[in-house]
Structure 1
Amino acid sequence: MPIFKRFIHNSGKLEINPIIRTETEFFSTTVLKENAKRRSSATINTNFYDISASGYISALKGHNPTPASETTFLGEIVSEGKIVGGKPEPLNFYIAHYKDRHKANIDLTTTFSTGQGNPPGDCSCGFGGLGPLIINGLPYGSINKYSSEADSLPESLRPIIGEPSTEAKKFLTQRSSAKFTSFSKNDSNYSARLGKTCLGIRSLDVCVYVQKHGDSGMSIEAVRDEMMALGCKHAVFFDGSDSSLLYTPESGFLVSQADAKDQTCIAGAAFYWHSEPSQREPENKAKIK
């Protein structure tokens, strides 16, 4: 199957809530229980995570869910201005949503922020420890790229990887990221068949891209480039490989996690609109190569 793309349109007021497993149950069970309480437009997995040695052995041995306490998600999760869990990941990236900024038909990009570090403590919902695709309009990749205007600067001021100089930053057309590079290498080793969970924000849409691990789909570079072509100002990737998950109430689990990940995963996100979203391809799809 190809990568699943869901475009959730700005037809009301958006809310994003963390889905956190606290019971000894499969993560898919938690997703179903949360959707039974409140029907979402879509639910995905989010944070990368570590698992204790005992939890890892338990997942390998059988088909029983591990206690939620055996898993630590990497990157803080913020809900309604409070940190609800997670290990700080200041060198990685975050996406944050501010629902109080939202009004009908507003530019959605103004209700989100992205950046390096932990999610801001005043956001209504935020996820840290993530990989960057597009941060405040700037694409990220394995190397730094500059416009021709930077050619006059010494090479020491415009490195291929790492932090550029203040003088060179204004000429950046792509920023390097170790997190992106690591994921890209793994993806390349799998011939772009590595599972992916990606989120992009443009003026009228929340763009959710999820690819099942092992299926043909898109490279992480192609996802970034398509989201740039769609006009996304913010885009990040979450935990991928066989952790990737996408659930919608009307279609069920379009992408399911591997058994061991369903036993150990504890964090996701649910998207809600106050009015039903439509599902249509973006108008500028023809411009995407």
Structure 2
Amino acid sequence: MPAGRWRSPTVVAGRYALLDQVGAGGMGSVWRAWDQRTRRHVAVKVLGQHGSAVLARFVREQAVRVRHPHVVAPHGWAAEDDLVVLAMELVRGGSVADLLREHGPLDAGTAGLLCEQLLQALAAVHAAGLVHRDVKPANLLLEATGDRPPHLRLGDFGVAAPVADHRFTTVPGAIGTDGYMAPEQARGAPPDPRQDLYAAGRVVLEMITGLPPARQTAVPSHPLRPLVERLLVEDPEQRLATSGAALRLLRRLPLPDPVGPPVPDRLGPPPRGRRTAGVGAVDWPAWAAVAALVAVVVGCLWVLLGWTP
């Protein structure tokens, strides 16, 4: 854009100034945005050209109100013309899927810590009367903790549903992600917290082997094996029944301290030249040129008028 021109980000619903796209999914794109009302950066999921079914799912997601350090739940939404946006906290460290793709299997301490944080998140979600139904590495977001221990945040509540709500039974189809769904969930059973625990078992097995569900076989010899085997029981009546029970078992296991890979800031600063004060964004080099011109004019006046310091 030519120097000296104002560059304004798109502002949705008179509130969210979209700065840069940071992700995409089946329901739309995810943007870093400036919330002009709260005056802070947020993540905004943008849904355009929405059909009724997708919009219903979108609205269901924004209704989630779980406040927990290991959960990223929506905290606001807005609509304007053919756009619907959903706002939530901005998490800067990518996801567990990114960590596994870049580093392969995680050490036992790091896998155990992430598992504990996931179970804490699920305990909060289930206590709120909800089943997440799509627990997988891509939905386990990470704060940018650098060399410090990782901090997991369970996100994406687009297919969450009330516990045992038969309105969300999907026979002959199923809601979730192939490979992570419990057998009864894949058959269309009503939402049940034990389905999330099965998915957690698949995720932990992926963390310790580096293998996605399609390539997973038997649980290998590992400090987390006793927990994984109890989570992956096919019969839900024999599976661990609650996140609390899973946490108690996990905390009895002899796990080493985490020594896993660092979690960098994957977003970086907002786009150069975009002001985050809320009205728009300015091309900063243009301001530099204006400031230089003002300095020259003031200098000339100083000489011509005989000003003294």
Q: The TM-score by the shorter chain falls in which range?
A: under 0.3
Q: Which structure is higher in helix share?
A: 2
Q: TM-score, normalising length from structure 1? A: 0.26
Structure whose alpha-carbon radius of gyration is higher: 2
Q: TM-score, normalising length from structure 2? A: 0.25
Q: Which structure is higher in strand share?
A: 1
